[in-house]
């Protein structure tokens, strides 16, 4: 009986000490503990509480649980150890050790921790970090992983603004979008969930895999943006490189419209497909069932194709038009169609001997490919043709390898 009275008196005394020491706006209520010791090391004294320690902060409806607490009254510092949990109405912060300062309202975890939001199942883990309760901001460092139902983001450092749902990350960023089967990497990035907007800088790279994983779309550039509010779109600017199967594309600005399954190339676009090169003011890549099926080149469209099957000369056939459509079958070009002021200039060979150059102008020119080589050229009925024999062509030198 006497032991119970003493324990009750001790609990009340400790509670009074805690209430007097805590500021009014951050008053901590000690709900439970098993043992209290007052420890002095040098000139510094602190209270050590052990055994299912439980605090409560009414102002935040915040419950704090741990196995052991070292409380420093002069600094308003609580060093919480062992299965530490800080839980309020919206989230929890868990770690083996957290230093909580009631003056600055900072909860610092020097070791691995987990932050979790209940309603959205949003989680953030890292090797160490600090949650600023006054501002609802979480700063995390080393092996940071953020995840929700649609995506995961990995980084070396991350600042998470809880109310704005805004992420500012840096260092070895890896962004995984499970819905789009997309993976992006960069050195720096921001993601704003409310606006459904993200931006990556520092050698950003986007990879969107097909279901078979054999024909992924790769896009790199200086800056990459994500828009997901109305329709899902990735835009890339600055030294853009795109690869899809055998196609390699280059430009200064590109956009991938996920819903339309199209990639738009702007500002000095260029397409390379094996020995065929295409230029124009605008180039579109059309993707159907995860496969690149068509390339559309507009305004001053040019397609250059190797002309010399002998390997002796650096000669290229040239096809021009207002618009050029390139059709692919299993990654190989099977047809090229030039329309509106179409013009073709191709070299004619006989038994691997160069005969001359044929020039054709008309409304439409169709070039048929077989096994990667031109097999047939079809011009519309309004065609005007001219053949220039080899003797009247400018001097065509052989490749240096074949020169005598």
User: Which domains, from first to last, does the chain contain?
Assistant: 1-139 (2.60.450.10)
Higher pLDDT, 180 or 62: 62
Whether the predicted pLDDT of 308 surpasses 70: no
pLDDT at 337 (0 to 100): 94
Among the ranges given (187-196, 228-237, 302-311), the one the predictor scored with the smallest mean pLDDT: 302-311
Whether the predicted pLDDT of 402 surpasses 60: no
pLDDT at 253 (0 to 100): 96
Whether the predicted pLDDT of 248 surpasses 60: yes
Whether the predicted pLDDT of 160 surpasses 60: yes
Whether the predicted pLDDT of 246 surpasses 90: no
> Per-residue pLDDT averaged across 190-200, rounded?
92
Q: pTM here?
A: 0.81
Whether the predicted pLDDT of 361 surpasses 90: yes
pLDDT at 307 (0 to 100): 73
Among the ranges given (92-96, 156-160, 217-221), the one the predictor scored with the smallest mean pLDDT: 217-221
Chain mean pLDDT for the chain: 87
Confidence of residue 213 (pLDDT cuts 50, 70, 90): low
> Per-residue pLDDT averaged across 359-375, rounded?
85
Which of 22-31, 76-85, 313-322, 384-393 is modeled with the greatest confidence? 76-85
Confidence of residue 214 (pLDDT cuts 50, 70, 90): low
Higher pLDDT, 141 or 259: 141
Whether the predicted pLDDT of 401 surpasses 70: no
Whether the predicted pLDDT of 11 surpasses 60: no
- Give the model confidence (pLDDT) of 266-285 as tens digits: 999 999 988 889 999 999 99
> Per-residue pLDDT averaged across 7-33, rounded?
57
pLDDT at 13 (0 to 100): 45
> Per-residue pLDDT averaged across 37-50, rounded?
89
Whether the predicted pLDDT of 22 surpasses 80: no
pLDDT at 180 (0 to 100): 81
- Full 3-state SS string of the chain: CHHHHHHHHHHHHHHHHHHHHCCHHHCCEEEECCEEEEEEECCEEEEEEEEEEEEEEHHHCEEEEEEEEEEECCCCEEEEEEEEEEECCCEEEEEEEEEEECCCCEEEECCCEEEEECCCCEEEEECEEEEECCCCEEEEEEEEEEECCCEEEEEEEEEEECCCCEEEEEEEEEEEECCCCEEEEEEEEEEECCCCEEEEECCCEEEECCCCCCCCEEEECCEEEEECCCCCEEEEEEEEEEEECCEEEEEEEEEEECCCCEEEEECCCEEEECCEEEECCEEEEEEECCEEEEEEEEEEEEEEEECCCCCCECCEEEEEEEEEEEEEECCEEEEEEEEEEEEEEEEEEECCEEEEEEEEEEEEEEEEEECCEEEEEEECCCCEEEEEEHHHCCCCCECHHHCC
């Amino acid at each position: 009986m006497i032991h119970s009275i003493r324990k009750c008196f001790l609990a009340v005394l400790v509670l009074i000490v805690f209430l007097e020491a805590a500021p009014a706006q951050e008053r901590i209520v000690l709900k439970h503990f098993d043992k209290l010791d007052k420890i002095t090391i040098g000139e510094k004294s602190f209270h050590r509480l052990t055994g299912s320690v439980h605090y409560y902060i009414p102002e935040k409806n915040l419950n704090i649980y741990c196995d052991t607490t070292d409380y420093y009254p002069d600094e308003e510092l609580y060093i919480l150890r062992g299965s530490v949990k800080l839980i309020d109405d919206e989230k929890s912060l868990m770690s083996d050790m957290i230093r909580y300062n009631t003056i600055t309202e900072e909860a610092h975890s020097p070791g691995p921790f987990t932050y979790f939001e209940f309603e959205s199942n949003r989680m953030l883990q890292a090797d160490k970090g600090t949650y600023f309760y006054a501002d609802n901001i979480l700063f995390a460092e080393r092996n940071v992983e953020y995840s929700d139902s649609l995506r995961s983001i990995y980084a070396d450092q991350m600042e998470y603004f809880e109310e704005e749902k805004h992420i500012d990350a840096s260092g070895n960023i890896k962004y995984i979008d499970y819905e789009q089967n997309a993976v992006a990497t960069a050195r720096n990035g921001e993601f704003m969930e409310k606006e459904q907007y993200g931006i990556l800088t520092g050698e950003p790279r986007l990879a969107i895999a097909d279901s078979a994983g054999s024909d992924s779309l790769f896009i790199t550039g200086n800056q990459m943006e994500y828009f997901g509010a109305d329709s899902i779109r990735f835009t890339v600017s600055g030294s853009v490189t795109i690869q899809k199967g055998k196609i390699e594309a280059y430009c200064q600005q590109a956009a991938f419209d996920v819903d339309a399954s199209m990639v738009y190339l702007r500002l000095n676009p260029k397409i390379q497909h094996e020995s065929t090169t295409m230029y124009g003011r605008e180039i579109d890549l059309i993707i159907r069932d995860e496969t690149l099926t068509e390339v559309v080149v507009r305004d001053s469209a040019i397609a250059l194709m190797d002309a010399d099957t002998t390997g002796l000369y650096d000669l290229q056939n040239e096809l021009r038009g207002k618009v050029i459509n390139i059709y692919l079958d299993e990654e190989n070009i099977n047809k090229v169609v030039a329309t509106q002021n179409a013009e073709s200039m191709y070299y004619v060979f006989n038994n691997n001997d160069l005969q001359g150059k044929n020039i054709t102008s008309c409304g439409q020119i169709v070039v048929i490919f077989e096994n990667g080589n031109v097999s047939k050229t079809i011009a519309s009925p309004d065609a005007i043709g001219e053949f220039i024999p080899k003797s009247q062509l400018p001097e065509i030198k052989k490749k240096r390898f074949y020169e005598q």
